[in-house]
Amino acid sequence: MRMSSLPVTALSAILFFAVQPFSSQAQDVALTPPMGWNSWNYFAEKVDDPGVRAAADQIVASGMKDAGYIYVNIDDTWEGQRDSNGVLHTNAKFPDMKALADYVHSKGLKIGIYSSPGPKTCAGYEGSLGHEEQDAQLYAAWGIDYLKYDLCSFIPEVMEKQAPNDPPAQMRLMHAAYTKMWKALKATGRPIVFSLCQYGWDAVWEWAPSVGGNLWRTTGDIQPNMYSIYANMSLQAGLASYASPGHWNDPDMLEVGNGELTPAENRAHFSMWAMLAAPLLAGNDLTHMKPEIRDILTNRDVIAIDQDKLGKQGSRAYVDGEVEVWTRNLSGGALAVAVLNTGDTRYSTHPFHLYLSRFGLHGPQKARDLWTGKEMELSEGMALELSSHDVLLLRIAVPK
Ligand code: GAL
């Protein structure tokens, strides 16, 4: 039958199915920033099957699942060797990946995995170069729901070898490598969140959606200290227009509960990631999580900012010395405001004055403090006391 003789409805159905599998993946997953847990920030190379099961158990037991944390993501160091057919096997730490995925799914959670477009991962394990389709099929057969694809050895082994001293050509090779894995994932027919990890090279936010990225790291690796957290946060200023449902800037996984972060720093880190519509991937040891850390990670009001369905990332509204004010437009016309004391030695003895007019509000405003739950009235120039590295996170339901 010639296409022109098909009834319109049949023609649209054919077009729908022809076009849909190719174009829909980015829209169907990660409509809000992915929430879950990732093994790297705390466990690094010590991640193993029992540890991942324990994390899944704790996500449920701690209330994190009910608060929206769904992905249990295995980072680097699960990979073993390829057999003579090129099929990748897990190493001894992960005896049966399919059984592990089934276990995570049985908890109502989803499971993520990690690879590199290069021959090796960052930790020197087997990468996907030359085996993209085979690996994507393997992930789908295991029931994987999320892939973090980390550039690593692709830089020296492919970009620098194939295009020495030619950065634009190197970047084209990088784009092609991400496109290749995207196509391989799509060909599996399984919805798999595609997370690009190439540290923000070549203004990744401008092209990541065109290679299937649902989220993309915009920075180098985060560390559990306020300088690193602040550096990664600052690099998001100016990127708000690149975020939208299905497509997120990723300032890296959470360090809440790690290192020596103070309660104020943990709150500030979590608040700012919510303002940035950042993925909320907890990176701490959930089995030994203190109640105060669980309370931060499960604050529903803060999570609601992050997960707001409009998907509009916040922006830095103004800076006054060591105090920064960020705002984020929310659905229903609401506004989130974060006031962050970035100073190391600026104590609550020295108040900061909040100028609502600098982000377009006029006259007194009713707001809710999302960490105390208290209602407040904001006024132009009001004094705010914030201790070093602390944050005031507000929701203004009806901004005037
Ligand atoms: C880095 C990446 C980290 C982690 C690590 C694993 O390149 O940024 O988040 O995945 O590799 O080796």
pLDDT (tens digit per residue) in 30-67: 999 999 999 999 999 999 999 999 999 999 999 999 99
Assess whether 221 carries a catalytic annotation: yes
Distance 43 CA to ligand 1 centre (A): 12
Asked if 221 and 249 touch (Cβ cutoff 8 Å), the reply is: no
What's the confidence (pLDDT) of residue 1? Answer: 26
What's the confidence (pLDDT) of residue 8? Answer: 36
Distance 302 CA to ligand 1 centre (A): 27
pLDDT (tens digit per residue) in 349-372: 788 999 999 999 999 999 999 999
The confidence band for 283, taking pLDDT boundaries of 50, 70 and 90, is very high
pLDDT (tens digit per residue) in 59-115: 999 999 999 999 999 999 999 999 999 999 999 999 999 999 999 999 999 999 999
Task: Enumerate residues lining ligand 1, CB below 6 A.
Answer: 40, 75-76, 121-123, 150, 152, 197, 221
Distance 33 CA to ligand 1 centre (A): 19
pLDDT at 184 over 90: yes
Which atom of ligand 1 lies closest to the CA of 150? 7
Asked if 351 and 392 touch (Cβ cutoff 8 Å), the reply is: no
What's the confidence (pLDDT) of residue 398? Answer: 95
Region of poorest pLDDT, from 26-30, 146-150, 230-234, 274-278: 26-30
pLDDT (tens digit per residue) in 8-29: 333 343 333 333 444 444 448 9
Pocket test for ligand 1, best of 47, 75, 114 (most atoms within 8 A of CB): 75
The confidence band for 341, taking pLDDT boundaries of 50, 70 and 90, is very high
Q: What is the pTM of this model?
A: 0.93
Catalytic hit among 57, 202, 221, 301: 221
Catalytic hit among 135, 150, 306, 308: 150
The confidence band for 120, taking pLDDT boundaries of 50, 70 and 90, is very high
What's the confidence (pLDDT) of residue 15? Answer: 39
Q: What's the average model confidence in pLDDT over 152-167?
A: 98
pLDDT at 7 over 50: no
Pocket test for ligand 1, best of 43, 116, 221, 223 (most atoms within 8 A of CB): 221
Report the nearest-CA residue for atom 4 of ligand 1: 40
What's the confidence (pLDDT) of residue 350? Answer: 81
Distance 196 CA to ligand 1 centre (A): 11
What's the confidence (pLDDT) of residue 16? Answer: 38
pLDDT (tens digit per residue) in 313-336: 999 999 999 999 999 999 999 999
Assess whether 150 carries a catalytic annotation: yes
Report the nearest-CA residue for atom 3 of ligand 1: 221
Distance 9 CA to ligand 1 centre (A): 48
